[in-house]
Amino acid sequence: MNRVENFLLGGRHNRSAIHVGLVNNMADADMRATELQFAKLLKESAGALDVRLRLFSLRGIARGEQARSRMDGFYDDAAFLQAANIDALIVTGAPDDGGDPKAQAYWPELTQLIDWAETGTFSTLFSGQAAAAGVLHLDGIAARPLHRKLSGVFPAMRVEDDPLFFGQTLTLPVPHGRSHEIAEADLSQRGYRVLSRLPSGQVDIFTREPAGQSRFVFLQGHPEYDRATLGRDYLRDLERFHAGDLAAAPAIPENYFDRATENQLSEAGTDMARVREIVAGALTLQSWRLHTGRLFANWLTLVAAAKARRTTSRSVHTRKRAS
Can you tell me the distance from the alpha carbon of 245 to that of 185, in angstroms, rounded to the nearest whole number?
Answer: 33
Q: One-letter amino acid identity for 78?
A: A
Residue 96 is predicted with a pLDDT of: 77
pLDDT at 1 over 50: no
Q: Per-residue confidence at 127, pLDDT binned at 50, 70, 90?
A: very high
**Residue 20 shares a structural domain with residue 41:** yes
DSSP class of 75:
E
| Residue predicted with more confidence, 59 or 320 | 59
Predicted structure pTM score = 0.91
Q: Per-residue confidence at 76, pLDDT binned at 50, 70, 90?
A: very high
Residue 319 is predicted with a pLDDT of: 52
C-alpha of 51 from chain center:
18
DSSP class of 83:
G
pLDDT at 182 over 90: yes
Supply the range of the domain harboring residue 100.
3-227+295-322
Which residues, at least 6 apart from 308, have a Cβ–Cβ distance to it below 8 Å?
Answer: none
pLDDT, mean of residues 78-100:
90
* 289 is a domain residue: no
**Residue 108 shares a structural domain with residue 90:** yes
Closest CA to 298 of 123, 130, 148: 123
As beta bridge partners, residue 19 has 52
**Residue 220 shares a structural domain with residue 257:** no
DSSP reduced 3-state for 169: coil
**Residue 130 shares a structural domain with residue 257:** no
Interior/surface letters 47-75, b for 16+ CB within 10 angstroms, e for the rest? eeeebbbbbbbbeebebeeebeebbeeeb
Nearest 10 degrees: CA dihedral of 203, 208, 214, 219? -10
Mean pLDDT of the chain: 91
**Residue 179 shares a structural domain with residue 81:** yes
**Residue 42 shares a structural domain with residue 184:** yes
Residue 158 · residue 202 · CB < 8 Å: no
| Residue predicted with more confidence, 271 or 13 | 271
Sign of CA dihedral 5, 298, 124, 288: negative
Residue 8 is predicted with a pLDDT of: 52
Residue 306 sits in a domain whose CATH number is: 3.40.50.880
C-alpha of 133 from chain center:
12
* 193 is a domain residue: yes
**Residue 274 shares a structural domain with residue 316:** no
Residue 99 is predicted with a pLDDT of: 78
Planar angle of CA 283, 224, 115, nearest 5 degrees: 160
**Residue 158 shares a structural domain with residue 268:** no
If one counts the domains in the chain, the total is 2
pLDDT at 9 over 50: no
Can you tell me the distance from the alpha carbon of 137 to that of 115, in angstroms, rounded to the nearest whole number?
Answer: 9
pLDDT, mean of residues 91-114:
91
Cα within 13 Å of Cα(310), Cβ side: 15
Residue 3 is predicted with a pLDDT of: 46
At residue 223, φ and ψ (nearest 5 deg) are -65, -20
**Residue 114 shares a structural domain with residue 261:** no
Can you tell me the distance from the alpha carbon of 186 to that of 205, in angstroms, rounded to the nearest whole number?
Answer: 14
Q: Per-residue confidence at 313, pLDDT binned at 50, 70, 90?
A: low
Q: Name which of 89-103, 171-185, 245-259, 309-323 the model is least confident about.
A: 309-323
Q: One-letter amino acid identity for 131?
A: A
C-alpha of 117 from chain center:
16
Residue 27 · residue 95 · CB < 8 Å: yes
pLDDT, mean of residues 48-68:
95
Residue 46 · residue 4 · CB < 8 Å: no
